[in-house]
Amino acid sequence: MRAHLITYGCQMNEYDTHLVQSQLVSFGADIVESVDEADFVLINTCAVRGKPVEKVRSVLGKLRKAKEHRPLVVGMMGCLAQLEEGQQMARKFGVDVLLGPGSLLDIGKALETNDRFWGLAFKDELHDHIPPPPTGKLQAHLTIMRGCDHHCTYCIVPTTRGPQVSRHPDDILRELDTLLAAGVQEVTLLGQNVNAYGVDGGARLGGYPSFANLLRLVGQSGVRRIKFTTSHPMNFTEDVAATMAETPAVCEYVHLPVQSGSSRVLRRMAREYTREKYLAHIADIRKHMPDVVLATDIIVGFPGETEEDFQETLSLYDEVGYDSAYMFAYSARPGTPSYKHFDDLPREVKTERLSRLIAKQKDWSARKNAGKIGTVQEVLLRGDAHDANFLEGHTRGNHPTVVPKVMGITGAGIYQVRINHATPHVMYGKLLDAQGNELPELPKHNPEAAALSAPLAMA
């Protein structure tokens, strides 16, 4: 079998794709780089917004045409596969394998029968499965929980991924050990609401640490860098911020979705906190980490949002001064309470407000990044940038960073970088040696550059 996997959506979907890919490899499948090479194509879908759903629809249409000319098995997995909308789409486009987010380990059974497979039941054994570590990568995702016990009116996740199920800490640490043994240096802990880890259905689980204590356990493993996503402000506690400050491996980066700066809109979203409570969390975070890098999610144009409400979002952005944000115009999703009970705003209103918010975000990002000029940042370099004379990576604060290649360093690793230029979206710098001196760049467009290089630790 030659398999090709396509992923849409969040980091949780990326992790699930890796999990299923590892299953396919264990069955003897070859993972190929393109659809044209494959006899099995599996799409990991997202249903949170309308755009990724339309992308899946487009890909399925192309695959249906391809099936007319050659033998091809097509599969869908992920959140969209759990919904009636996705199942109707699967029937329309002749999808052969359909797996919900809780049935990923049934991929072997589905392919063995080679029949349409509607395996949509949630299965607890998924949480016990430890996939092999990624090959040749310094970064990895590590799922600590699945599902969500909150019911935000715009969100389809509780329907697609079910209620919150925290993963046992022993399984988390066992998987972490495999990642470290494979050379992983940065781990991102994943969950729909990591701050609620160990409290499923509103009750603390026996033998499960709090999220703050889990961070401490992971920090004692020897991993170089720890990040986590995503956080729900309703469950954020000050001890998490204190633990981050006290645990050297935990990066000074917090992604805390606010969604709206208006308490009235937050009530309509059923977010369970107010603007004032959210800002109190920001104050707690900055008390323990004054130089923290803050990111957020914001939905613009939620049903009923007035211009006054939107102005409150703009003013909150200024009050917090985010380094970056994921910003979206509200996308009505069938099956959510907001889709059923609220009237959508006109598209042009949402688009215009989004453009204003993006302009504000760009201004703040420019100011924040400019403030890093002249500083020395720890950067995890992943490999070549678009220009092969440069390497790309990111700081502990998740800032995309580009550096020129130097003698001895042309690949992945964690290094010290002095920032000398910045745009709203990217920082540029120079690699430093152990004494803090800038290393000389390799000659540009040098075809011998790779041959001149050898591993050299600079961090």
CB 333 within 8 A of CB 339: yes
Tens of pLDDT along 123-145? Answer: 444 556 677 777 888 999 999 99
How much of the chain exceeds pLDDT 90, in percent? 71
> Across all residues in the chain, what is the average pLDDT?
89
Tens of pLDDT along 50-105? Answer: 888 999 999 999 999 999 989 899 999 988 988 888 899 999 999 988 888 877 77
Residue 42 host element (H or E): strand 40-45
Distance of alpha carbon 403 from alpha carbon 358, whole angstroms? 27
Tens of pLDDT along 303-333? Answer: 999 999 999 999 999 999 999 999 999 999 8
Radius of gyration for the alpha carbons in the chain, expressed in angstroms and rounded: 23
pLDDT for res 103: 76
Distance of alpha carbon 102 from alpha carbon 145, whole angstroms? 12
pLDDT for res 66: 92
Among residues 291, 237, 229, 283, the alpha carbon closest in space to that of 256 is found at: 229
Residue 120 has pLDDT above 70, yes or no: no
Distance of alpha carbon 246 from alpha carbon 248, whole angstroms? 6
Among residues 223, 242, 233, the alpha carbon closest in space to that of 298 is found at: 233
pLDDT for res 99: 85
Residue 115 has pLDDT above 90, yes or no: no
Domains, the chain, in order of start with CATH, read 2-123 (3.40.50.12160), 125-368 (3.80.30.20), 376-452 (2.40.50)
Tens of pLDDT along 2-14? Answer: 889 999 988 888 8
Distance of alpha carbon 92 from alpha carbon 72, whole angstroms? 16
Distance of alpha carbon 289 from alpha carbon 443, whole angstroms? 40
165 phi-psi bin (left φ>0, alpha ψ -120 to 50, beta other): beta
Distance of alpha carbon 211 from alpha carbon 198, whole angstroms? 7
User: Which residues are CB-neighbours of 114 under 8 A, at least 6 positions away?
Assistant: 73, 96
CB 427 within 8 A of CB 395: yes
CB 293 within 8 A of CB 323: yes
449 phi-psi bin (left φ>0, alpha ψ -120 to 50, beta other): alpha
Per-residue HEC secondary structure of 13-29 comes to: HHHHHHHHHHHHHHCCC
Distance of alpha carbon 19 from alpha carbon 236, whole angstroms? 29
Distance of alpha carbon 109 from alpha carbon 341, whole angstroms? 40
Whether the link from the prior residue into 230 is cis, omega within 30° of 0, is: yes
Residue 251 is labelled as binding a ligand: no
Residue 155 is labelled as binding a ligand: yes
pLDDT for res 114: 55
Task: Give pTM, 2 decimals.
Answer: 0.82
Residue 66: helix, strand or coil by DSSP? helix
Tens of pLDDT along 213-228? Answer: 999 999 999 999 999 9
pLDDT for res 449: 45
Dihedral in degrees, nearest 10, Cα atoms 274, 280, 285, 288: -160
Q: Looking at residue 83, what DSSP letter applies? A: S
Residue 445: helix, strand or coil by DSSP? coil
